[in-house]
Amino acid sequence: MTADFVHGGNVYEAARTSGRASNRFVDFSASINPLGPSPVAVRALRHSLPQLIHYPDPDCVTLRLALAERWRLASDQIVVGNGSSELIHLLPRALGIRHALLIGPTFSEYARAVALAGGKVSYLHARRSEDYRPPLELVLQAVRRSRRPVDTIFLCNPNSPTGQAVPAESVRKLVQAAARRRLRVVVDETFVEYCADRSVLCDARRSANLLVLRSFTKFYAMPALRLGYLVGAAPLIQLIRSLQPPWSVNMPAQAYAVAALGDRRYVGRSLAYMQRERTSFVMNLMALPGVRVYPSEANFLLLELPASRSARVCAATLARQGLLIRDCSSVPGLNRRTVRVAVRRLVQNRRLTAALRQWLGGQA
């Protein structure tokens, strides 16, 4: 994997390079619900284990029906994938994307998927001076003037790794303007559970040019099980399903997801916890000398280190102490002092803050 497409969450590589066991790292580099998996869903997963001797349902029927009921969509408007990453990689081939516009700085897999399918990518980057607020007005202008002969726009909302979210109404305007120019809009809502009023998922009932991606791996804390889904117009969804390898979504993941959807208590606890802990983590990080903390509506924070410091050295130093953070210096549109940290449990967040304070107080 090249430097441009590095991801967080690789505790195995950290263990191999450090000699420390993988379970002895505190992983701030992947943004997973700090409360861990839904207990109700873990129970369902355990109950499903006798089914290991059968192939999983290749059509994920029970899960698609549950999702259809939740979002009041038809089940043929939903395709389930082995993580939303699988769907991101099926999209360019299914849609025949030749030129995508990415609203950056953003998740690297959109660019990789489009490039692997032979398409071209252009970026419209959010500005640091605007706290990396996604520049939807500029995108709208570009769409209206058709200056960029793109066929598909990718928007991540809330955006990773910057954390900002745009209002649903602004996304709707973009989708409508794009429809007039026959452009498709893919909205990645992988972290939207933390700001549900920003979601446009239900608009997929009527907007033929809108595709919305969701993941279970972050909010429902199951990155090792893998599960994501995509919602859109039935013919497009059918096309994507036709390209998918059979049985790509395993049975324990399907059982977990169906039960997780019904665990409203877990959702409430997770949201309340994040609201509280993110606020106090932000305040503690803002008190570090020269550190800039960007606004976030998700379960992670983008930080900029002081001018003399580098994200690469910071990440390497903390890794030696068993703390993994995401060095964002290779993300197009961000500078070499930028890192992303997940909001985790209070004690872990305090440990990270203390380690950063110590590093910032020492030699560069």
Ligand X SMILES: Cc1ncc(COP(=O)(O)O)c(C=O)c1O
Instruction: Among 157, 160, 170, 207, indicate the residue that binds ligand X (CB under 6 A).
Output: 160
Told to check if 193 binds ligand X by CB under 6 A, we report no
Told to check if 85 binds ligand X by CB under 6 A, we report yes
Near ligand X by CB under 6 A, which window of 52-60, 80-88, 94-102, 349-357? 80-88
# binding residues, ligand X (CB under 6 A): 13
Told to check if 215 binds ligand X by CB under 6 A, we report yes
* List of residues 6+ apart from 208 with CB closer than 8 A: 179, 233
Choice between 168 and 227, CB closer to ligand X: 227
Choice between 32 and 288, CB closer to ligand X: 32
Written as six digits, the tokens of 61 are: 């029927």
Told to check if 228 binds ligand X by CB under 6 A, we report yes
- Please report, for residues 15, 151, 246, the alpha-carbon distance to residue 287 in angstroms, rounded to integers and kept in the order given: 31, 44, 51
User: DSSP states of 134-178 as a string?
Assistant: --HHHHHHHHHHT-S--SEEEEESS-TTT-----HHHHHHHHHHH
Written as six digits, the tokens of 250 are: 């395993």
Choice between 160 and 349, CB closer to ligand X: 160
Choice between 168 and 331, CB closer to ligand X: 331
Told to check if 188 binds ligand X by CB under 6 A, we report yes
By C-alpha distance, which of 108, 90, 36 is closest to 256? 36
Told to check if 157 binds ligand X by CB under 6 A, we report no
Written as six digits, the tokens of 166 are: 């745009």
- 8 Å CB contact between 154 and 182: no
- Applying the rule CB under 6 A, the residues between 95 and 124 that interact with ligand X are 107
Instruction: Among 36, 167, 223, 295, indicate the residue that binds ligand X (CB under 6 A).
Output: 223
User: DSSP states of 274-303 as a string?
Assistant: HHHHHHHHHHHHHTSTT-EE---SSSEEEE
Told to check if 164 binds ligand X by CB under 6 A, we report no
Instruction: Among 48, 84, 157, 296, indicate the residue that binds ligand X (CB under 6 A).
Output: 84
* List of residues 6+ apart from 181 with CB closer than 8 A: 143, 144, 146
List of residues contacting ligand X (CB under 6 A): 7, 83-85, 107, 156, 160, 188, 190, 215, 217, 223, 228
